[in-house]
Amino acid sequence: MRWERVSAHRGKQPKWVGPEGGAGPQNPGSRPFPARRYSRIVGGWDLLPRALLSSLSEPVLLNAPVVAITQGPHDVHVQIKTFPQARNLKALKADVVLLTASGPAVQRITFSPPLPSHVQEVLRGLHYVPATKVFLSFRRPFWREENIEGGHSNTDRPSRMIFYPPPREGALLLASYTWSDATAAFSGLSQEEALRLALDDVAALHGPFVRQLWDGTGVVKRWAEDPHSQGGFVVQPPELWQTEKDYGPYDWSMPYGRIYFAGEHTAYPHGWVETAVKSALRAALKINSREEPALETTSPEGQRQRQGPAHGVAGSPSYDLAEEEGSHSPVQGQLPLQHTTYTRTWH
């Protein structure tokens, strides 16, 4: 697997187009975080899970959603659905479980004994924003004729951001990437309508000739409607007030009995693959240094006594994501930086 730095357009700068369709000033946007550097995996992000998969020796079950997790004194039973219409669930027995599904997905799992009420409350409090991408397939990468190689253009038309593939990576254009309120422009539209809306904006930016170059196909992906994520990523709004019951950010590194948690929602900054990976490493360290679990380990009082600083891991090697070199500061309510920058990672 090869990494490379993400760069802005080479050659001519990207265009900007205004609401009336007329081309605006060239490259109006400054780079809000010029010092930040981003990397991408050459060939696509799916190479990352594929590389992880190749290092696993145990069988991996795909298309097998977990529906229930039951903890006993000596083990934990995980019930999975092996195909959508299955009446009988398959049960797997394990010493511990590492749960990395998104907040909404975790809420649909039945836990026995139930998750403590404050954990359920924290799960309900996670604020996921929607995200939508529209891809259009063209007969040739016409942007190359404008010397555009990678990078993206901004517009205040519905598409908001248009991302160009790097050189030699075909003619599939990410014609629109929206998140949060901006996704509303595409909500309720059929696939055909959404593709055509994005095409209108590409034509407004690059010229009407692109309509002839579109091969009529494309993909619309709305993460808020994906049953396995039910949202794009976590953008936690600032807390307006705190009560005396509040003990600061919830420490997801604390297991609930034999159940450990990881994923972008369990560490800071939210909304990054890097956070998801680091939270999984944090959980792996805890699992490997675990003692026999007690189910009450995640009570707020228990957390307060055990955890010390937020995200610290009592009684095991400390692994504070926020202090990792290169990590962003864990400011709750801060927008994920990649969604506001001029260039960003791509997948």
Ligand X SMILES: Cc1cc2nc3c(=O)[nH]c(=O)nc-3n(C[C@H](O)[C@H](O)[C@H](O)COP(=O)(O)OP(=O)(O)OC[C@H]3O[C@@H](n4cnc5c(N)ncnc54)[C@H](O)[C@@H]3O)c2cc1C
Q: How many residues bind ligand X, per CB under 6 A?
A: 26
When asked if residue 273 is in the footprint of ligand X (CB under 6 A), the reply is: yes
Q: Angle 132-133-134 (CA atoms, 0-180°, nearest 5)?
A: 125
**In the sheet that 16-17 helps form, which strands lie side by side, from edge to edge?**
16-17, 152-155, 161-163, 172-179, 131-138, 214-222
Write out the binding residues for ligand X, residues 101-120 only, by CB under 6 A: 101-102, 105, 109
- H/E stretch holding 136: strand 131-138
The CB density around residue 302, as the number of other CB atoms within 10 Å, is: 16
**Single-letter residue type at 168:** R
When asked if residue 276 is in the footprint of ligand X (CB under 6 A), the reply is: yes
When asked if residue 345 is in the footprint of ligand X (CB under 6 A), the reply is: yes
- Residue 65 in contact with residue 81, Cβ under 8 Å? yes
Where residue 208 falls (left for φ over 0; alpha for ψ -120 to 50; beta otherwise) is alpha
When asked if residue 48 is in the footprint of ligand X (CB under 6 A), the reply is: no
Cα–Cα distance list, 12 to 3, 9, 149, 345 (Å): 25, 7, 9, 21
When asked if residue 186 is in the footprint of ligand X (CB under 6 A), the reply is: no
When asked if residue 304 is in the footprint of ligand X (CB under 6 A), the reply is: no
Range in contact with ligand X (rule: CB under 6 A) among 19-27, 273-281, 303-311, 326-334 = 273-281
| Minimum distance from residue 197 beta carbon to ligand X (Å) | 18
| Minimum distance from residue 175 beta carbon to ligand X (Å) | 14
Q: Closest CB to ligand X among 257 and 263? A: 263
- One of 7, 13, 27, 100 touching ligand X (CB under 6 A): 100
State the Cα–Cα distance between residues 75 and 254, nearest whole angstrom: 18
Q: Closest CB to ligand X among 92 and 207? A: 92
Q: Angle 270-276-279 (CA atoms, 0-180°, nearest 5)?
A: 100
When asked if residue 236 is in the footprint of ligand X (CB under 6 A), the reply is: no
Paired sense of beta strands 233-234 and 128-129, if any: antiparallel
Q: Closest CB to ligand X among 146 and 226? A: 226
Range in contact with ligand X (rule: CB under 6 A) among 89-97, 99-107, 240-248, 292-300 = 99-107
Q: Closest CB to ligand X among 135 and 143? A: 135
When asked if residue 233 is in the footprint of ligand X (CB under 6 A), the reply is: yes
When asked if residue 163 is in the footprint of ligand X (CB under 6 A), the reply is: no
Paired sense of beta strands 39-41 and 172-179, if any: unpaired
Range in contact with ligand X (rule: CB under 6 A) among 199-207, 225-233, 243-251, 287-295 = 225-233
Find, among 290, 292, 284, 314, the residue nearest to 302 by Cα.
Answer: 314
- The footprint of ligand X (CB under 6 A) covers 65-66, 100-102, 105, 109, 131, 133, 223, 228-229, 232-233, 263-264, 271-274, 276, 338, 344-347
